Amino acid sequence: MVTKSIEEIRKRLVKAGKELYERGLVRGTSGNISAKIPGEEAFLIKPSGVRLSFIKPEELVLVDFQGNKVRGKMSVSLETPLHATVYRERDDVQAVVHTHAPIATAFGIAKTEILPLQVELFMLLPNGIPIIPFESPGSEALAMTVQKKIRDYDAIILENHGVLTVGSTIEMACNLNEMIEEAAKIQFLAMTISGKDLLDFAKLKEKFKTMNTVK
């Protein structure tokens, strides 16, 4: 049963990786994606140096929650500690997606928080999308910083580094990542039209206070 489950997850990760590439959220060998194995303290993750657009199911590496390779011929992703710390911290998370979505990443570089201005995104992320200070990719410092934030957020912006989203399924984590990039586009346009005065999270929460949120 576990073997069948792993093979299914491999196929879904490959499909999701190609869609992320096609939608312009990753380029080259950047970005990574992983999914937890149900009932196991282990997850599958994209290996190092492989393009998500061309990844094969058998190339995905099986890793335990401490970041140690369990099975796989290729090297683990540099960001494996980042994914591992999310799974250790959040029992409800089944998938982690890290992209370099260009506009959302630019907001992180500019240290301008992306707000859930559209009601649909607010329902998913009522606490917003925080930016965490830059730490070197693959470092323990980055993993620890993410660990503190991921307890309360399903999406975060990594300063100078991209977007991290989590979900109860692979598809939901990918969808959230794409929605954040779309939110960044809309916010950029709104700021161009009206300036930064519209970026008042307190007023936004007041406007949407009657909405039911989804977690």
Q: What tokens appear for 27 in the block?
A: 């380029």
79 is catalytic: yes
Read off the tokens for 69: 């390779």
A 10 A CB-CB count for 211 gives 13
Q: Which residue's entry shows tokens 């390779």? A: 69
Q: How are beta strands 155-158 and 61-64 bridged, if at all?
A: unpaired
Q: 89: left (phi > 0), else alpha (psi -120 to 50), else beta?
A: alpha
Is the separation of the CB atoms in 198 and 186 below 8 Å?
Answer: no
Instruction: Please identify which of the residues 19, 22, 79, 135 carries the catalytic annotation.
Output: 79
Other Cβ atoms closer than 10 A to 214: 10
Partnered with residue 47 across adjacent β-strands are 76
- Residues marked as catalytic: 79
